[in-house]
Structure 1
Amino acid sequence: MPAPASRLARNYAPLPVTVVRAEGAWVEDADGARYLDLLAGYSALNFGHRHPDLVAAARAQLGRSTLVSRAFDHDLLEPFAAAATDLTSTEMLLPMNTGAEAVESAIKVARRWGAQVRGVPAERATIVVADGNFHGRTTTIVSFSTDPDAREGYGPYTPGFRHVPFGDAEELADAVDDDTVAVLLEPVQGEAGVVVPPAGYLRAARSITEEAGALLVLDEIQSGLGRTGATLAQDLEGVRADLTTLGKALGGGIVPVSAVVGRADVLGVLTPGSHGSTFGGNPLACAVGIAVCELLADGTIQARATRLGELLGARLDALVADGLLARARRIGLWAGIDLPGGLTVDGRRADGHDLCVALARRGVLAKDTHGATVRLSPPLTIDEADLEAALDALRAALVELAA
């Protein structure tokens, strides 16, 4: 049988850009063309490519140790837990690797807590989730996805989840009952197109779960660590979840690092052998994670995200006013933009992918989602002039599609 054209499984459809070098907000392809990165690894690169402090921490640790089985201790595990819990005003940390692992871990902890502390029978325990959610792509997580691309063909599905519309506090309250062990939400739905809930929604979710004796679990894998202009998006509403999942930016774009942080009495239901990870909390991950926490400790990066986000918002609002965008949703330095119906490519209605192709021709990289929507998540360290240049390119690309 002849070899396929590519040896890679086709679970992605990338733009025709092959990156060979990257630094800060810029990447370079094999031909030497340079692009501004307005995706930033879905927020994994909040601090840009190869941030010098993070690279230095990784290099120093590479000369010492990289992996120690959790059968033993190592000298950075407790410092990493202390740094991350201090940063997030939480009590305890469970180290993992990927965001999906962190969410799976939070689900397991919530179910065990529900059984052992609340006394909810395992066969009746439910977790309330939101329509339009994205928490990863494991079998359990896609079981409660409402995205056909993520879900279809992967049954049989894991039971125990109940859906409500995102942002509707009344529907959420109606869905929570005596068998609810947790409510799992994204403070902002990133994959759905940077969907920001109404003001007060997280506070309502906190009140609803407290009254019911259930856990509030917030997935801050994309929204956390500075993206929204705060350390955590929940900070903007003065809320603290019982469990919060972190990932992506926690590894600084260097190594996969994730964690569940939260209440010690909730994470305390884990016992030796009941959960684990070979690479979770490895020394290299901890070294980078500590350096990430140090970058965020004084709030400078969060403030910068707020300031640049205002610039981004003003420019996007102008595009909406000019009819070049149908809508623009923004929080911090993060936006979802929807194309209007009048844009065309080769006689058909243009979609988000067409806009990303037009942007790439102008030296800007972004990613579409769900048809006519494009997400913008520049590194929080991007130069203001570079952000302005990228937004100039966005306007030019939209004008081209509208011609």
Structure 2
Amino acid sequence: MIEQQRILTTAIPGPRSRELQSRKTAAVAAGVGTGLPVYVTDGAGGIIRDVDGNQLIDLGSGIAVTTVGNGNQRVVDAVTEQIARFTHTCFMVTPYEPYLGVCEKLNALTPGDHEKRSALFNSGAEAVENAVKIARHATGRQAVVVFEHGYHGRTNLTMGMTAKNMPYKHRFGPFAPEVYRVPMAYPYRWAGGPERCAEEALRTVTDLIHAQVGEENTAAVVIEPIQGEGGFIVPPEGFLPGLAEYCREHGIVFVADEVQSGFCRTGDWFASDHEGVVPDLITTAKGIAGGMPLAAVTGRADLMDAVHGGGLGGTYGGNPVACAAALASIESMEADDLAGRARGIGKILGDRLGSLAEKHPEIGEVRGRGAMVAMELVTDPATKEPAAALAAAVNKGCHDRGVVTLTCGTYGNVFRFLPPLSVGDDLLHEAMDVLEESMDAALA
């Protein structure tokens, strides 16, 4: 077990990491970027250790993946046992029980008590793409409605569904057709003000679908209940339930993309649970399997079973080792009440960031739920002009001081905090101290 302490033995990155980064430049395609080029050897709890012996506080969790923590003993034991038995057969050739176990858990844990089915895949993008396939097949319709600031992946279809051009879409087109984008209910930036956002956004969205797409042509509406890469945008109360009801009224499949927000991250098992929203289909990945590649589509049995035999699948989808990791991760979430832990983390982050916002008006808004929290930086609170340069400077300051932080947002001005739910309170407070020091330095 790594000592849960931030330790800086060299500058960040250290000499050994810089050597490895030179090898990366020579061997790896330039399009595969690296936000913080420290090369990791070990990780546990809220700490990752690099090749130079530095120990950094992890506020990223591999982008919301290591929710149960690196080195979670249940996951280690389950993966070790499974990998010694067999590593692959392809479920579509000769199946195995762990795949069934994951699907049964997903059917039980996801919102709603209706009859469900699940199918397993490799990545969040693959899950989203298969959700669209299922919705189109089941409805006989083609159009897919997505939202401004949304992020859904890097395949051709999911790039088309994603809002942000750079770096995700730039010069990669043409994209798949029949994808339509509508405004997101973004309270901080809604022209009519946050108090009018829910009602006005819902009316705007439904009017646009009716006039420009046609409900009878719309297979699915796909939305992140809390947007991830787009800036941790939390829609106002009432918007998601209203949107789900509109979809039900018109036979449109309501798809909740919970790739980043699922599995206890927001203080509930799924972000949809907060307002009792029951999606027709829900996509999951990231936190599902303790770092192993796994994703899923779960939904109404009539929709999932509408697809012909052989229409869903993939060689590696539901790999047995990944399934073993997922079952162990879910066991940890249940046994250790990680949803409750996420709420506790959210309280610490919210309090500390709120105090920091009182000191620095450049923090335009602190938002999020559970351990999915963000602050949006602006140059002027009156104009709300995005402060991307400030975000980059603060991010670098945190990195230099040994804290792994991530930025996001359509305008590059949002800090997102996604610590593993195994992180200790003392490390969270220390990380917030480092953040404050970095903010002070960037604004000096």
Contact between 2:45 and 2:69, CA under 8 Å: does it hold in 1? yes
Shift of residue 340 of structure 1? Answer: 4.0
Counterparts of 1:257 and 1:133 in 2: how far apart (Å)?
21
Match of 1:291 in 2: 328
Counterparts of 1:61 and 1:111 in 2: how far apart (Å)?
36
Whether 1:28 and 2:69 are equivalent positions in the alignment is no
Match of 1:312 in 2: 349
Counterparts of 1:318 and 1:4 in 2: how far apart (Å)?
40
Whether 1:19 and 2:43 are equivalent positions in the alignment is no
Match of 1:113 in 2: 138
Change (3 A) 1:271 1:22: same
Match of 2:248 in 1: 210
Whether 1:353 and 2:374 are equivalent positions in the alignment is no
Counterparts of 2:430 and 2:110 in 1: how far apart (Å)?
34
Contact between 1:351 and 1:373, CA under 8 Å: does it hold in 2? no
Between 1:6-15 and 1:161-170, the stretch displaced more is 6-15
Shift of residue 289 of structure 1? Answer: 1.3
Which of 381, 396, 399 is 2:437 aligned to? 396
SS in structure 2 at match of 1:162: strand
1:127-138 correspondence to structure 2 within 5 Å: 127-138=144-155
Counterparts of 2:223 and 2:378 in 1: how far apart (Å)?
29
Counterparts of 1:89 and 1:236 in 2: how far apart (Å)?
10
Contact between 2:145 and 2:221, CA under 8 Å: does it hold in 1? yes
Shift of residue 77 of structure 1? Answer: 2.1
Between 1:291-300 and 1:57-66, the stretch displaced more is 291-300
Letter in 2 for 1:185: I
SS in structure 2 at match of 1:163: strand
Match of 1:280 in 2: 317
Contact between 1:54 and 1:292, CA under 8 Å: does it hold in 2? yes
Letter in 1 for 2:337: T
Whether 1:162 and 2:203 are equivalent positions in the alignment is no
CA RMSD of aligned residues (A): 1.8
Contact between 1:350 and 1:401, CA under 8 Å: does it hold in 2? no
Match of 1:220 in 2: 258
Q: How does the TM-score come out when normalised to structure 2?
A: 0.84
Contact between 2:68 and 2:333, CA under 8 Å: does it hold in 1? no
SS in structure 2 at match of 1:351: helix
Match of 2:122 in 1: 97
Contact between 1:353 and 1:367, CA under 8 Å: does it hold in 2? no
Match of 1:148 in 2: 165
Between 1:125-134 and 1:10-19, the stretch displaced more is 10-19
Shift of residue 89 of structure 1? Answer: 4.6
Match of 1:335 in 2: 373
Shift of residue 296 of structure 1? Answer: 2.5
Shift of residue 350 of structure 1? Answer: 3.7
Whether 1:246 and 2:262 are equivalent positions in the alignment is no
% of aligned pairs identical?
A: 32
Counterparts of 2:127 and 2:336 in 1: how far apart (Å)?
25
Counterparts of 1:203 and 1:300 in 2: how far apart (Å)?
26
SS in structure 1 at match of 2:137: helix
Letter in 1 for 2:227: Q
User: Structure 1 stretches of 5 or more lacking a match?
Assistant: 343-347
Match of 2:109 in 1: 87
User: Structure 2 stretches of 5 or more lacking a match?
Assistant: 1-22, 186-200, 381-386
Contact between 1:84 and 1:293, CA under 8 Å: does it hold in 2? no
Whether 1:192 and 2:244 are equivalent positions in the alignment is no
Shift of residue 52 of structure 1? Answer: 1.1
Change (3 A) 1:29 1:299: closer
Shift of residue 311 of structure 1? Answer: 1.4
Whether 1:363 and 2:407 are equivalent positions in the alignment is no
Contact between 1:248 and 1:257, CA under 8 Å: does it hold in 2? yes
- 1:109-130 deviations in Å (ceiling 9; x for gaps): 0110111xxxx4xxxx211110
Contact between 2:43 and 2:49, CA under 8 Å: does it hold in 1? yes
Counterparts of 1:29 and 1:354 in 2: how far apart (Å)?
22
Match of 2:26 in 1: 6
Whether 1:235 and 2:252 are equivalent positions in the alignment is no
Shift of residue 74 of structure 1? Answer: 1.2
Contact between 2:371 and 2:421, CA under 8 Å: does it hold in 1? yes
SS in structure 2 at match of 1:374: strand
Contact between 2:226 and 2:261, CA under 8 Å: does it hold in 1? yes
Shift of residue 326 of structure 1? Answer: 2.8
Q: How does the TM-score come out when normalised to structure 1?
A: 0.92
Whether 1:182 and 2:204 are equivalent positions in the alignment is no
1:29-48 correspondence to structure 2 within 5 Å: 29-48=50-69
Shift of residue 225 of structure 1? Answer: 0.3
Match of 1:321 in 2: 358
Shift of residue 336 of structure 1? Answer: 1.8
Instruction: Say how many residue pairs are matched.
Output: 387
